[in-house]
Amino acid sequence: ATQEAALSSERRPGTDVSKADIISCEPATGAEIWRGKPCEINEVVTRARQAWPGWAAQPLANRMELVRRFANEVRKEADTLARTIAREVGKPLWEANAEVESVINKVEVSIRSYAERTSQRKLDSALQGTMAVRHKPHGVLVVLGPFNYPAHLPNSHIIPALIAGNVVIFKPSEKAPASGEILIRCFHRAGIASSVVQLAVGGPEEGQAFVAHEGVDGILFTGSANTGLAINRRLATRPDKVVALEMGGNNPIVVWDTPKLTDAAAIVVQSAFATAGQRCTAARRLIVRDTLYDALMVEVKALADRLIVGAPFDDPAPFMGPVIDNAAADGLTESFLYLLSNGGRAIKHLVRPDESLPFLSPAIIDTTAMADRPDVELFGPILQVIKVGDFDGAIAEANNTRFGLAASLVGGTPQEYNRFWANVRAGIVNWNRPTTGPSHAAPMGGIGLSGNHRPTGYYAADYCAYPVASGEMEQPRAMIGVGLK
Ligand code: NAD
């Protein structure tokens, strides 16, 4: 209780008292979990700029040691962090525990990835001396976090950025400041100065101010496509700033011939409804061969009917919790009704048992007959089903989106998977695996409206440092061999 009370302090250093409070509420109960003032942007950026040279000058081994200590601090706080994530964004406790594990695992993965992707390399040549390739940090990087993985996803930017020698300003989602606060506390307890990695609470307004700030060298963003586009537009004339955009998806899962329909159905349900559909990689569209349609849909519906929707700490544990807030639940309900009234056929209705809370049941709707399916990300537990006759049609349907994050084929022959892999447009292409649950040891990003070709995950090292090529010789040596009078 003491730790939880410590989460909501009235006044933090670097906060602007004239602005309205940021208030974070538990989706499952509506109770307030955190309240505080938004940060004061100039103060935060100035502190970061002052801290950067010292941090960048530290030997790499020190920075690595400090992030390893961070992992130990997270281990000590694992229970508090997991319970706070579960309360603040409504995900089941077992899932919040898994998120905390990902935070810890990120450290060793990032150390490996730094060494492999951005370490120093030397190419020796008798004529040119040594050609060295080394990497330098950008400077002050701002991490703008989403609500759905309020610790793991920002951390996926923060750790590689710190290892590479950047200082970090982390602005958590305004819907998840309590989780962000514990994360950043672990960095400080590990011995990383509070100016090297700062918590900067705020909403879209503060996000915009950081994006526009002259003292910021880059924006590492995970969130919706609309926000990502706004950031991209704002920085269109600033090629000097590094911008990594990890955005949403309208992800397809294609089910083709397979003798294992029950397993296929489980992969579909996991892809569509894990985290109440609030994952960037969640399957939004199930594209299914007409000959399998009836049998598959019986299995998918039966399994979806069995999913327990409940509060994070319920016993027995729920499969999924509520969506993030009532506004999100209202929007999803409206979207479902829109699909229904424009040619969609409900296979499983979206049900909201209590209008005052954002718990939604998993919903399935056949949109095959819709003339014009909106290509938007419905960030919740709604799965659209589209029936197709042949494999080319399935691929065309999978690509019928401006997004391109994750795509899965379930069933099919190796030849069909090869065709799918070659032709489907997405940054994550899986076979007989869910669209969700990307590996830390692999790049994680999308094309189209899903990203700007700066994947995070294992490749985050690439956008946290820039390469410098240096031709180097111990002594000057005359070089002009021809063309002299
Ligand atoms: P969001 O875009 O609403 O907010 C993300 C962050 O941007 C928040 O910190 C917010 O305060 C800030 N922000 C909002 N408007 C801004 C602006 N104009 N300028 C600068 N900053 C601004 O996203 P969300 O609802 O918190 O997260 C869910 C979205 O994130 C979904 O679309 C999901 O698909 C996506 N997501 C993507 C990935 C990925 O790796 N590709 C992972 C998780 C979530």
Cα separation of 153 and 132, whole Å?
Answer: 33
Does ipTM top 0.95? yes
For the chain, give the mean pLDDT. Answer: 95
Confidence of residue 430 (pLDDT cuts 50, 70, 90): very high
At residue 473, does pLDDT exceed 90? no
247 CB less than 6 Å from ligand 1? yes
Active-site residue flag, 10: no
328 CB less than 6 Å from ligand 1? no
Ligand 1: centre distance to CA 146 (Å): 5
Confidence of residue 15 (pLDDT cuts 50, 70, 90): low
Amino acid at 315: D
Q: What is the pLDDT of residue 371?
A: 86
Ligand 1: centre distance to CA 155 (Å): 14
Q: Choosing from 25, 186, 280, 464, which is the catalytic residue?
A: 280
Ligand 1: centre distance to CA 246 (Å): 8
Question: For 269, how many CA atoms within 13 A lie in the half-sphere containing its CB?
Answer: 24
Q: Ligand 1: which atom is nearest the Cα of residue 281?
A: 34
Active-site residue flag, 280: yes
Residue-wise pLDDT tens digits, 300-309: 999 999 999 9
Residue-wise pLDDT tens digits, 174-191: 999 999 999 999 999 999
99 CB less than 6 Å from ligand 1? no
Residue 20 CB neighbour total at 10 angstroms? 9
**Paired tokens of 469:** 């090529």
Residues 195-208 have a mean pLDDT of 98
Cα separation of 393 and 222, whole Å?
Answer: 32
Contacts of residue 294, Cβ cutoff 8 Å, sequence gap at least 6: none
Q: Ligand 1: which atom is nearest the Cα of residue 149?
A: 43
Confidence of residue 17 (pLDDT cuts 50, 70, 90): low
227 CB less than 6 Å from ligand 1? yes
360 CB less than 6 Å from ligand 1? no
At residue 466, does pLDDT exceed 90? yes
At residue 368, does pLDDT exceed 50? yes
Residue-wise pLDDT tens digits, 53-86: 999 999 999 999 999 999 999 999 999 999 999 9
| DSSP per-residue letters across 160-178 | HHHHTT-EEEEE--TT-HH
| Of the candidates 268, 273, 297, the residue with the CA atom closest to the CA atom of residue 411 | 268
Q: Ligand 1: which atom is nearest the Cα of residue 203?
A: 11
Instruction: Give percent of the chain with pLDDT exceeding 90.
Output: 90
Give strand ranges (E) for 320-431. 345-348, 363-366, 382-388, 403-404, 406-410, 428-431
222 CB less than 6 Å from ligand 1? yes
**Paired tokens of 443:** 């790049």
Number of alpha helices (DSSP H) and beta strands (DSSP E) in the chain: 15, 21
| Of the candidates 442, 440, 394, 445, the residue with the CA atom closest to the CA atom of residue 420 | 394
Residue-wise pLDDT tens digits, 218-266: 999 999 999 999 999 999 999 999 999 999 999 999 999 999 999 999 9
Confidence of residue 117 (pLDDT cuts 50, 70, 90): very high
Q: What is the pLDDT of residue 478?
A: 78
Cα separation of 405 and 305, whole Å?
Answer: 28
At residue 275, does pLDDT exceed 60? yes
Going from the C-alpha of 153 to that of each of 40, 221, 306, the distances in angstroms are: 24, 10, 29
Sign of the torsion angle spanned by Cα atoms 401, 406, 412, 415: positive
Residue 315: phi and psi, rounded to 5, are -130, 120
Measured by CA distance, the residue closest to atom 14 of ligand 1 is: 204
Q: How far is CA 111 from the centre of its chain?
A: 20
Q: Choosing from 95, 246, 377, 397, which is the catalytic residue?
A: 246
